Structure 1
């Protein structure tokens, strides 16, 4: 997976303090949003516990002894929610689902993979898609079930796939 490449702001102490100037704050929050999504993508994170995350990277940088306050973490996460990159899983906003790619983008990657591998009009189990040898080199390898199903439901809506249940297993047929 390689080492994560931190942006320059991550080692700049003021980045960890919400700026009072609205223009500066907008740029700062944009930088945080980009960082959170890149970090989640690099580490294949699909869920976030807010309290746990607020004390760990990317919201904390032990090398410069800085941490984004909880208010700042919520500011960043709310911006990501308005952009469609996270969804809260509870009313208390203590956990969220992270989508560094939209379900439609994931669906398109899976459909392209199925096309490339001659899997049209064949049934694939969801396990094969997320854990199989044929998908090891794909970005969606290891994707969580909730995101996989959302992505495949969108393909089904576009008539590019059909979700199937058989013998206690779940699968999909690509068209």
Structure 2
């Protein structure tokens, strides 16, 4: 039974990892073991792509890292524009007590956890990385919460490293529905799939991928992680461009 459950979890993770094409509401994996499984699946996919690129390189007799080889059209997937849409509402959307912070500490942890789980799913579905508290309060179902209540939920998420306050006044929220390490794997896979074997920080931000709207500071941090993993190497002294290694 445990093995079957693990297979089901793996199938769901694979489905959710198809981030550049379509974001599914899916379960947000918080357990460390499953997070490692997500990264492992990404790495397996990367190894497959690297093997395919090596074959293309050998057949063409050119060095793909210089840009002189033609990448197979099967590996090139044009970026899809993210469509604005409404995120599915939680099952408890019509339960009035979910919009008031419980006074009984017995129920407080569960209440906060439910809101935290939904907030991560909501942000993932809508591809939201950075948002103001004021803007959140205009979105369903957060519009039924008072600012004090919403901030209590966000403080709980901050304690769990699910969000980070982006400014000193705590007006902006950075929501981590995907870790920076996971993004490094995703961007590397994207580079191999599309043949983008070198790119700048600004080229990443100018795209239409799920990671294009990440804060610039974190995209640079992700590029640094890619270099540390030997997925890429820096080009230029300013370290705003990388060349992909495979």
Is TM (by shorter chain) over 0.5? yes
Conserved 8 A contact 2:220-2:240: no
Paired residues for 1:43-82 under 5 Å: 43-60=126-143, 67-82=144-159
Conserved 8 A contact 2:130-2:175: yes
Picking from 31, 38, 41, the partner of 2:121 is 38
Say whether residues 1:140 and 2:238 are aligned partners: no
Question: Which residue is 2:191 aligned to?
Answer: 114
Q: Which runs of 4+ in 1 moved over 4 A?
A: none
Paired residues for 1:164-175 under 5 Å: 164-165=235-236, 170-175=240-245
- Cα distance between partner residues in 1 of 2:132 and 2:189: 32
- Cα distance between partner residues in 2 of 1:88 and 1:163: 30
Q: Number of aligned pairs? A: 162
Secondary structure in 2 matching 1:139:
coil
Q: Report the alpha carbon displacement of residue 107 of structure 1 after superposing the two structures with TM.
A: 0.8
Greater radius of gyration (CA) = 2
Q: Report the alpha carbon displacement of residue 169 of structure 1 after superposing the two structures with TM.
A: 9.4
TM-score between both structures, scaled by the size of structure 1? 0.77
Secondary structure in 1 matching 2:92:
helix
Q: Report the alpha carbon displacement of residue 78 of structure 1 after superposing the two structures with TM.
A: 1.3
Q: What are the ranges of 5 or more consecutive residues in structure 2 without an aligned counterpart?
A: 1-82
Paired residues for 1:79-98 under 5 Å: 79-98=156-175
Say whether residues 1:123 and 2:220 are aligned partners: no
TM-score between both structures, scaled by the size of structure 2? 0.57
Conserved 8 A contact 1:85-1:102: no
- Cα distance between partner residues in 1 of 2:106 and 2:236: 51
